[in-house]
Chain A
Amino acid sequence: MRTTIFLITLLFTAAVIKAATITVCPDCECSSIGQAIESANAGDEVLIKSGLYQEGNILVDKALRLRGEGWPVIDGENETEVITVTASGVTIEGLVVRNVGTSYLEDRAGIRMQRARNFIIRNNRLENTFFGVYLEHCSDGLVSGNLIEGQAEEEMSSGNAIHLWYCKRMQVEENEVRGHRDGIYFEFVDDSRIRNNTSEDNLRYGLHFMFSNDDDYSRNTFRRNGAGVAVMFSRNINMWENRFEYNWGRAAYGLLLKEIYDAEIRNNTFLENTIGVYVEGSTRIRYRHNEFNRNGWALKMSGGCLDNIVNENNFLHNTFDLSLNSAPNNNSFDGNFWSDYNGYDLGRDGVGDVPYHPVKLFNYVVNRTPEAMVLLRSLFVSLLNFSEKVSPSLTPANVADNAPFMQKLNFSKDKPAY
């Protein structure tokens, strides 16, 4: 045992002794980053002083630490990829990477990691990038505190801010991304965390999530994205304490769930989205302690959604609380607060005595003939809804909250979800 500790200490000191710092600045002996990397040995630090470096295609093929001081700018001049890393154990921090050119043939990125492990990409600024940070076949990495801004104009000619493909055990934290096609893109990424990020004003999705299992994303804000957040074809996803805001447009929703199994959606806020949560073929999902505020549709479920539990949520001032397009229903909607509920509570136990039916007749009509939406908020529609409420005949009678709360639920006393 003692020998092992000794050996480890020896190795560690050896590494420390060996590590050298190579300084790069426009007037230094070494004025190019590529040159510095070539002359460095694994474990060295390349310190880049502030200045403009017009270098593209910088290849990092050994375990180096690239550190910027005073925000040095590396400019790809809209023609090349900027930094490509093929080694493990690389750290990149404090750099400004600018002008990654759009290409229809290759996915150029500001910082690309290929088959790397144990890396850190921290506190960088990426400006006018095609793809921002592009990670493929990576594992155990951290992408944190980066500001990634693109100027995407159309989906065809734009890339993603943070793109992960076939990765494992990644952490994406506290990044701010905007102006790309997708803010954060996950495909075949397992056991990873997305936390405290802000993704806004992207053309397509704030977060695009496919074929990725056992992940969680929490405390993120997704705002004003073209289509909101899409989570598709994945299992065991936890979605906690996120904010989905202002995804407003004809094809926009806060959150799209497609073929999702066994997920937890807890303590999220859905504010002013055309559709709060749009669910397709998703099963065994628990919605708890979420707030749906002023959305067009709070929850829109289409066929094949089974065994979902919607419990202890606040539905506040949505145009439609719930839309279901299939008659059979085994989802539970018991125990929520609905701002449209106007039943009574004789027992004074805080729970309404008459069930609340969240699917209105007009909702049913609109599902069948979307054009009828022009009659929204007309007197006739109010009368229609009222008569249906008094004696339900067309709307599914089993879609009901049998124990609706009388008062808005207060979640602030909750323990953190994780």
Chain B
Amino acid sequence: MFKILKYSFYDLSRSRWIYIYGAFYLLLTASLLWLGGGVSKAIISLMNIILVLVPLIATMFGVMYYYNSREFTELLLAQPIRRSHIFFGQYLGVASSLAISLLLGVGLPFVLYGIFTSPEIWNFSVLLLVGFFLSFIFSAVAFFIALRNENRIKGFGLAILVWLFFAVIYDGLFLLALSLFSDYPLETFAIGASMFNPIDLSRILILLKLDISALMGYTGAVIQKFLGTMMGMACSLGVLLLWAVLPAWGIKRVAVRKDF
């Protein structure tokens, strides 16, 4: 599996897109830090961008990579290698190269700006951690979708739809539910519902770190009580991990049974 991971990683590191992706973050972060002023403000702006862009790029890239390397995959399938190893190797190759681009692109300017001496270091780490998780989660989802669909157009469409659902539609439905049932106590529901969307969960994790919880009134108090503690943090990271593991398990299931 690691050999295949290595191959996909090298393959991707020769591709232009991954560099463009990294360079984009580098440019963005640097300009936010030096032009916008202030680590804290840069973290908030980056959060908005990372929460939208990382899932989108990971989904698109995952689907694209799977379809493009299909011939190589078929070649590998002819070899005596376990199927799950082939696909896991490819998936982890894509996810880790995306994550490394993100790490370098966002991390380098912050290190040069002096994040290690700043009190914001924890907020920054949460931001990076969340970016990592989102890369892994959404490329797994993308691989799963691509494996299930032979038709490229259908696969791409579905992947975009999934991204759109988690990034926008889910929150719309969430808000609708909140306002429809506003007569009932909804704090537990709000926590529960945000657990089902990795993007929401990531956003709340960062916002809590940035102390916006004070704005949230009673809901914020309940969320802070749940997520603000070590236990809650571990729990929500566990949920994020679960979000990465579930589609990966799906990849395995589909890959093993699929008739190529």
Interchain CA distance A377-B49 in the complex, whole Å: 11
Q: Knowing A274-B215, A296-B214, say if A365 contacts B179 (CB, 8 Å).
A: yes
Whether B171 contacts A380 by the Cβ 8 Å rule is yes
Q: Which of B34-63 contact A (CB under 8 A)?
A: 41, 44, 47-48, 51-52
By a CB distance below 8 angstroms, the chain A residues around B190 are: 371, 374
A17 at the binding interface (Cβ < 8 Å): no
Whether B217 contacts A370 by the Cβ 8 Å rule is yes
By a CB distance below 8 angstroms, the chain B residues around A279 are: none
Q: Which of B151-182 contact A (CB under 8 A)?
A: 167-169, 171-172, 174-175, 178-179, 182
0/1 interface trace, chain B 176-211, chain A, CB 8 Å (1 if under): 001100100011011000100001100110010001
Q: Knowing A371-B186, A372-B179, A383-B168, say if A378 contacts B216 (CB, 8 Å).
A: no
Whether B212 contacts A376 by the Cβ 8 Å rule is yes
Point out the residue from A248, A370, A378 that lies within 8 Å of B214, measured CB to CB.
A248
B93 at the binding interface (Cβ < 8 Å): no
A10 at the binding interface (Cβ < 8 Å): no
Interchain CA distance A372-B194 in the complex, whole Å: 11
Which residue of B has the minimal Cβ distance to A248? B214
Point out the residue from A297, A319, A368, A378 that lies within 8 Å of B171, measured CB to CB.
A378
By a CB distance below 8 angstroms, the chain A residues around B51 are: 378-379
Interchain CA distance A354-B65 in the complex, whole Å: 47
Whether B203 contacts A378 by the Cβ 8 Å rule is yes
Q: Knowing A369-B179, A370-B217, A373-B216, say if A248 contacts B211 (CB, 8 Å).
A: yes
A249 at the binding interface (Cβ < 8 Å): yes
By a CB distance below 8 angstroms, the chain B residues around A372 are: 175, 178-179
B122 at the binding interface (Cβ < 8 Å): no
Number of interface residues of A (CB under 8 A): 26
Whether B223 contacts A374 by the Cβ 8 Å rule is yes
Which residue of A has the minimal Cβ distance to B219? A371
Which residue of B has the minimal Cβ distance to A296? B215
Interchain CA distance A241-B216 in the complex, whole Å: 29
0/1 interface trace, chain A 53-93, chain B, CB 8 Å (1 if under): 00000000000000000000000000000000000000000
A133 at the binding interface (Cβ < 8 Å): no
By a CB distance below 8 angstroms, the chain B residues around A369 are: 178-179, 182, 186
Whether A368 contacts B216 by the Cβ 8 Å rule is no
B100 at the binding interface (Cβ < 8 Å): no
0/1 interface trace, chain A 240-282, chain B, CB 8 Å (1 if under): 0000000011101000000000000000000000100000000
A375 at the binding interface (Cβ < 8 Å): yes
Interchain CA distance A382-B48 in the complex, whole Å: 10
- Interface contacts (Cβ under 8 Å), in number, total 86
By a CB distance below 8 angstroms, the chain A residues around B216 are: 250, 370, 373-374, 376
Interchain CA distance A400-B107 in the complex, whole Å: 41
By a CB distance below 8 angstroms, the chain A residues around B2 are: none
Point out the residue from B169, B172, B178 that lies within 8 Å of A371, measured CB to CB.
B178
A381 at the binding interface (Cβ < 8 Å): yes
Interchain CA distance A274-B214 in the complex, whole Å: 7
Which residue of A has the minimal Cβ distance to B179? A369
0/1 interface trace, chain A 362-397, chain B, CB 8 Å (1 if under): 000100111111111111111100000000000000
Interchain CA distance A380-B52 in the complex, whole Å: 10
Interchain CA distance A373-B174 in the complex, whole Å: 11
Whether B194 contacts A374 by the Cβ 8 Å rule is yes
By a CB distance below 8 angstroms, the chain A residues around B182 are: 368-369, 371
Residues of A participating in the B interface, judged by any CB pair closer than 8 Å: 248-250, 252, 274, 296-297, 317, 319, 365, 368-383
Residues of B participating in the A interface, judged by any CB pair closer than 8 Å: 41, 44, 47-48, 51-52, 167-169, 171-172, 174-175, 178-179, 182, 186-187, 189-190, 194, 199-200, 203-204, 207, 211-212, 214-221, 223
30 contacts between A and B (CB under 8 A): A249-B214, A252-B214, A274-B214, A296-B215, A317-B41, A369-B178, A370-B218, A371-B186, A371-B189, A373-B215, A373-B216, A373-B220, A374-B190, A374-B216, A374-B219, A375-B171, A375-B175, A375-B200, A376-B207, A376-B215, A376-B216, A377-B47, A377-B48, A378-B171, A378-B200, A379-B168, A380-B168, A380-B175, A382-B48, A383-B168
Nearest first, the 9 A-B pairs at minimum CB distance are A380-B171, A296-B215, A369-B182, A373-B216, A371-B186, A371-B219, A274-B214, A371-B190, A374-B190
